[in-house]
Structure 1
Amino acid sequence: MVLLGCSNEAGSENVPEATAENCKEENIKKIADKATREALGSRCFRRGTFEPSAAKSW
């Protein structure tokens, strides 16, 4: 018995780092592989830092 699996998701080793340069729209469009392009776009969309709001005393 042989078990094979397929996935349309790009592996994390194939996706470039989400930097300011890589996240420019013209650079994302240059990526030929759709899954890799979408994975990078997703990483670029979610990049950034979390800054909690100031505490409020009502």
Structure 2
Amino acid sequence: MTLLEKIPTLGDAELNTLLANARRLDVTGTPAQRRAVDEVLTPLEREASRRRELARARR
């Protein structure tokens, strides 16, 4: 299973940690790290946003 496939199954804490690390590497990582982050950053942000919206809807 790839990281992209795992994103929906991650717990909230795991997702937030992974997203924070991806954002950090997007700025401070090596060129190879930045290329790798480029593949997962948008899907991570989308999933985090989806979960925030679900949490707001439950209130």
TM-score between both structures, scaled by the size of structure 2: 0.39
The structure having more radius of gyration, on CA atoms, is 1
TM-score between both structures, scaled by the size of structure 1: 0.39
